[in-house]
Chains A and B, each alone.
Chain A
Amino acid sequence: MHSDPKAVDLKTLEQLARTLRYRVIKTSHLSGTPHLGSCLSCLDLLVYFYWQILKIDPKDARAADRDRFILSKGHAAPALFQVLAERGFFPVSDLENYGDDGSLFGEHPPTPGYLPGIEAATGSLGHGLPMGLGMALASRISGKPYSVYAVLSDGECNEGSVWEAAMLASAQKVSNLTIAIDYNKWQATGRSNEVLNLAPLGDKWRAFGWCVSEINGHSFEEMQKAISDNKDDPRPKAIIANTIKGRGVSFMEDDNNWHYRTPNAEELEKAAKELGIAA
């Protein structure tokens, strides 16, 4: 469908995001895969990176100078799988066995050798940023010019390894690393600013020496501005993406029950209607 990213304007991206949201919800309904709220909150970020930013070729998924994208919040893999399929890394029909015994498609990404487009088998939080930092440093050491992008969750910033990586990236003046934090204000069992004291999140990253922008994480225009405004900044870059968990479906939005709940047939139909998808 939209395999040539150059041809895609932001309006078309919005329609694409709605379609992918529906597929993620439907898959959750059919396979019982959880973390729906987490998938819907970062889906716009994934769409933007994959259709507007990443220099990648699905036909040459392991090219040495490709940009790398890591979904550090690995539990949103159901969203990533839909994005990768739609972007042409593998046929959308491959996702038909989602969650079956022996399927590659479950709650977290498999290792890169098992699925084109995957750069890191995340799922344990706090791993994606250090690995991405290693890849970004490798670009400099080996003289292959590419950039590394990662999406982290706000709950993930509980992990000490995130801040270890933040300090090294800043000390090493790594400029080809950009992260977006899916700041949906929830983690598994509570508000992310209450479980551990996360706020002020932007200031924390600034204090760690990063170039920070704070945006609406569902606005492609604001993503575009955050990326282009800071593209020449020599520091590592953090986009604090203010998002809504469960975004796109009224009865899922900002309701943390959808961290683990999966929709029934009636809810799927309702979601389709809200998203404007003919189910």
Chain B
Amino acid sequence: MNDKKPPKTIATINFKGGVGKTTVTWCLGDLISTYGKSDVLLFDLDAQMSLTQAITLNEDGSLHGKFSNWQERSEKGKKTIFNAIDEYTKPKSFNFGIDYDFIYQIADRYHFVPSSEELYWLELEVFDREKMKGLMRELLGKITWSKKVSNYHYALFDCPPSFTLLSYSVLAVCDLILIPVNPDFYAVKGVPLILNTLKMRIEPLPIPKIAVFMNKAKPYAGKMTRESQFYWNQVQSICLKASEQSGLNVKCLDTPIFDRVQIKRAITSGGIPDDFVRDFKSLWAGITDFLNE
């Protein structure tokens, strides 16, 4: 008997670009697969492919040999994320086998579904928009029951900074939505926007738990600067009102990730910088506590 369980799913999203969605998602995946004992599957759903490029490009801009070979195999076998969507939206039943031609192995416990430039025109090419909303549920089901890939404990999604069909299909199925904010007006402005959008667009499906945390907080004497704290207070106030007025299950995680230079090269250097391990461990503890509530 197959004793596989579906992975816990976490989607990182904010409509404001540059808040650190990609880096945070990658670091969390690296943390729990390297320092923990979890098998992690990471999805890049952003057509901008920032995560895919950061993982798969050498410093000089050329593709890693290992990835290059894998990509050739994946494209030849029609096993890209775009092929999966294409297959799913056809009128017949969803016939898409899951194996390591669809999933790229970054490390033993850290696996990856890269993005594709074709996702840019996905919105134009998909005719059955309603059906698209169920894509990720079906795909995760196939991943869970496939005997050819690992038993993933967590699936992490790096979502685009907009409400696309693909992000909808993730947000409608995930266990937790993770919203990174920065200590600036425009990043915080994204919070009420996304909370309202979730309320309006996801219902009547159940809205997942939503966790918000401060990313790139400015540090001062081991704490946030007062300016960062001001914006964090604003976020907390927004989330409190969202809980009271809309019944959203929102939690503000008091585990900031501080703004330091090393984080910029976290992905390309292949490992979460030592200085950040403690902060990300605290963030992860907050996430799992909330997930298990």
**Binding between chains A and B:** no
Q: Which residues of A contact B (CB under 8 A)?
A: none
Q: Which residues of B contact A (CB under 8 A)?
A: none
